[in-house]
Structure 1
């Protein structure tokens, strides 16, 4: 081998057992608990069972699973046996999921029971899939997850991978619209722990981690798997869809010390407090809150810290970098700022010509560090656009202040980040144009009263038709994942365009802001 022998799964599980922490709680939550010894045993057994099922090293295994112990075991088992874990969003509908299954070339798909109907609809368009593994009961030809686990006894040794071996794919729309898989190495998992997890979070063995972001997000998989397990701490997993009431109940019952969410959810928790649904001491157990996914408005930070007495550090990360690379630090928070560069990374700001800009001047943000993905699966042109030598072009426009703090000015293109999830305007527009009442449309981002991005559809009615805003929003919800739906529909007589017929999205955004501001 030309690189250090290293298996991320062994790093996250066996290492704690070998250190004498086998009895410590690794995973807890309403779906079950596991000590480190139990986790390591099940991971090794499932890895062996998957090998007996025919999964080969470096082959993709796609997961459509809620956050529960079986999901953590599956991700770790796939990596342990040298294959590539591909956890994907549970919010896709059947056709959308089918596109990802086909793109990944996975022959084995693992799902939790609540997603079986969507997965089966996806598999109708994915003939390469040979085996569906279901947590819970399974009717042939599907296989039971427990059956695959049992088939792996006694467990075989881990696959001899190394730092640069493929370990994990995470799908993202990122800066270019269509979902694509960012390919990550085994070594990157240790890298994000050593940089952000250890040096920024200061995570320790007694910590209990609760994340609103799910395991299929880069942000969530770090919060709920990589950081707690690498530190010998405890991950709190909840299979339920996150709601303010549900998360508050989980905080009350599980007493986390580290709490991870995005700005939209922090705002929702404040709304719950204002309506009497969250007491002032709701987060009494939490020593630190973390925000990422989109920039945290200073007002939301101020209100949350004042009302709940918990400091929140905002940071910037990306699926391509696996986790956060610019962050505020505990006790060193500048509200409205993304913070400073995380140790182990470098950042630079360039103008449109690729020339570095000075402090206080806006520029396109580039970052480099060991955790950055090797590229996108089967997306050569996009890979060359985004991964430029050692540098990752993030697609964000930033300003660096003289003391090293970075402040976000927005995206460098027209992608929308709603609730921390990328939304492609073109995809939503394509759906809207399928409706008989829509002649033309443009979907843009609108900053609401909390400073958060929301998709807004500006629609020109088809000749002789009238537009019903509620009907169009429902139409989008029926044909797309719910988070992609426009939050508002504005009816216009015409869309502003350039001389060559291209929609002037900057102008559309201003029109939307003016109309909604007046509303």
Structure 2
């Protein structure tokens, strides 16, 4: 063990439980836990896992919906010095087994109804110890029974850790190839917690409350670290599906002041009629991330919620920690104090952004290139994946794979994923720009633009468009709408109307899924 370079991040919970033992910590449906109760349960889970031989550096896989068990598993794993390996609960057993082959967990916590997932993981030869919530079978331990039987460890039992010790395998949500395990560390996440408290939701205290509407396995879990550090209560939705009516009721009941969400969820919340009949004046920071938010959706959210929107751009590999656009930097006006409309903000405190060309050279303001970053929020690398690491860390920068521009003041605008861009007739087309133009049509609810092979132009655009309920829309109307709004070469050659766009488990619209459905439907130019 080297010098004491880091605090075990699990002590954030220990400290808060000692400071605020009787304050409300977690709410899930009708159930309530104080900080002292939550910490005692976490310590008992530490004892259960330690009794099964789980220790420092071992991986603990968790396949669960948002719940107290999901929350508790995070903190117990941290305190042990083990590595938390959460999965998206919507994944299939085969997909989870693939993640287990990468992570090689020694233990698995599974939610009720996920026996097939446990069987698939066990079939890989990993996770000999299985905890099950509510429907344990032979060979598995019942979660609540195991906690009740455990003798809690002594005070200050948290494992000593170094800055670079792994704490979390954050699986990328890529839609091509097997997801990679980004290794997050105790020291890196400590920086991220401080940065979020400074840049995303300043002023958060034990009087605050956070509504959890996205999976704790990813960005929402990172968000809750800062809430625990400050003693703010976390309120989980009672069901796994987004219930906008219930979400707004909880905002009013708990005087929620911060929410972490993604654009598709925020759009669903502000378009629901309950937003107009509940009191949401307590909201101070409604944070959206994970994908760009279209200007039309941003305007509606500002009109409904007022000046509380916070945008950040980031990736799992940089733990959401690249840019921030504060509430006072959001504007209904087209001139937002000189900030480019559509910008996702400027560099977070302690982070540096550069737009690099293919040769790794910085590009001047206004030119499009790859968004690259460096700073204390950048992860330690992909687990046992030297090829991916070599590609990701070229030239001393982390390469995000996103394209964008920086203006002279340092405000970043994302053009799209490098893989989303297509070349039509020798010209680069960035789908985001085309989608923004389509969404200004009043009859359009959502859309996605992708490039498909074209015999003359190399590639050409196809727009998949979802009309608003009751609206009349056809291909010709969309193309007429675009005629004077964007250059001819950027306009899609085809428009298809769908009832819904395919979405990932994180609420994103993966372009690969859009392209696949177009191919399945026989849409092509060849």
Give yes or no for TM over 0.5: yes
Q: 2:138 aligns with which of 137, 140, 143?
A: 140
The range that moved more, 57-66 or 382-391, is: 382-391
The range that moved more, 451-460 or 129-138, is: 451-460
Q: What's the secondary structure of 2:328's corresponding residue?
A: coil
Partner Cα distance (2:522, 2:133) in 1:
49
1:404 and 2:433 correspond: no
After the TM superposition, which residues 105-504 of structure 1 pair with which residues of structure 2 at under 5 Å, given as runs?
105-114=104-113, 116-123=114-121, 125-156=123-154, 157-174=157-174, 177-205=177-205, 206-217=207-218, 219-223=219-223, 225-238=224-237, 239-273=239-273, 277-279=274-276, 281-333=278-330, 334=339, 335-388=341-394, 390-414=396-420, 447=435, 449-450=438-439, 454=448, 486=514, 489=518, 491-492=521-522
Give the structure 2 partner of residue 51 of structure 1. Answer: 50
> Structure 1 residue 13: deviation in Å?
0.9
Partner Cα distance (2:447, 2:2) in 1:
45
RMSD, aligned CA: 3.2
1:63 and 2:42 correspond: no
> Structure 1 residue 23: deviation in Å?
1.6
Q: Contact (CA 8 Å) 1:87, 1:169: kept in 2 or not?
A: yes
Partner Cα distance (1:369, 1:285) in 2:
33
Q: Deviations over 1:310-368 (max 9, x none)?
A: 43121101100112320112312354110010101111111112111111111211111
Q: 1:494 to 1:292 in 2, by over 3 A?
A: closer
After the TM superposition, which residues 71-90 of structure 1 pair with which residues of structure 2 at under 5 Å, given as runs?
71-90=70-89
The range that moved more, 243-252 or 384-393, is: 243-252
Q: Normalization by structure 1: what TM-score?
A: 0.78
Give the structure 1 partner of residue 15 of structure 2. Answer: 15
- Number of aligned residue pairs: give it: 448
Q: 1:409 to 1:489 in 2, by over 3 A?
A: same
Partner Cα distance (1:142, 1:337) in 2:
49
Q: Mind listing any 5+ residue stretches in structure 1 that lack a counterpart?
A: 417-443, 461-472, 497-519
Q: Deviations over 1:261-306 (max 9, x none)?
A: 1111222223323xxx431645322122111011122221111111
Q: Contact (CA 8 Å) 1:457, 1:486: kept in 2 or not?
A: no
Q: 1:304 to 1:330 in 2, by over 3 A?
A: closer
Partner Cα distance (2:450, 2:361) in 1:
34
Partner Cα distance (1:493, 1:74) in 2:
46
The one of the two structures with greater contact order (alpha-carbon pairs below 8 A, sep at least 6) is 1
Partner Cα distance (2:403, 2:215) in 1:
27
Give the structure 2 partner of residue 439 of structure 1. Answer: none
> Structure 1 residue 456: deviation in Å?
7.1
Q: What's the secondary structure of 1:284's corresponding residue?
A: coil
Partner Cα distance (1:390, 1:24) in 2:
45
> Structure 1 residue 128: deviation in Å?
2.2
Partner Cα distance (1:21, 1:493) in 2:
59
Partner Cα distance (2:451, 2:92) in 1:
21
Partner Cα distance (1:252, 1:328) in 2:
25
Q: Contact (CA 8 Å) 1:78, 1:84: kept in 2 or not?
A: yes
Q: 1:33 to 1:481 in 2, by over 3 A?
A: closer
Give the structure 1 partner of residue 99 of structure 2. Answer: 100
Q: What's the secondary structure of 1:109's corresponding residue?
A: strand
Q: Mind listing any 5+ residue stretches in structure 2 that lack a counterpart?
A: 331-338, 423-430, 441-445, 455-497
Q: Normalization by structure 2: what TM-score?
A: 0.77
Q: Contact (CA 8 Å) 1:326, 1:340: kept in 2 or not?
A: yes
Q: 1:173 to 1:199 in 2, by over 3 A?
A: closer
Q: 1:175 to 1:240 in 2, by over 3 A?
A: closer
> Structure 1 residue 455: deviation in Å?
8.2
Q: What's the secondary structure of 2:200's corresponding residue?
A: helix
> Structure 1 residue 307: deviation in Å?
2.3
Q: 1:298 to 1:4 in 2, by over 3 A?
A: farther
Q: What's the secondary structure of 1:168's corresponding residue?
A: strand
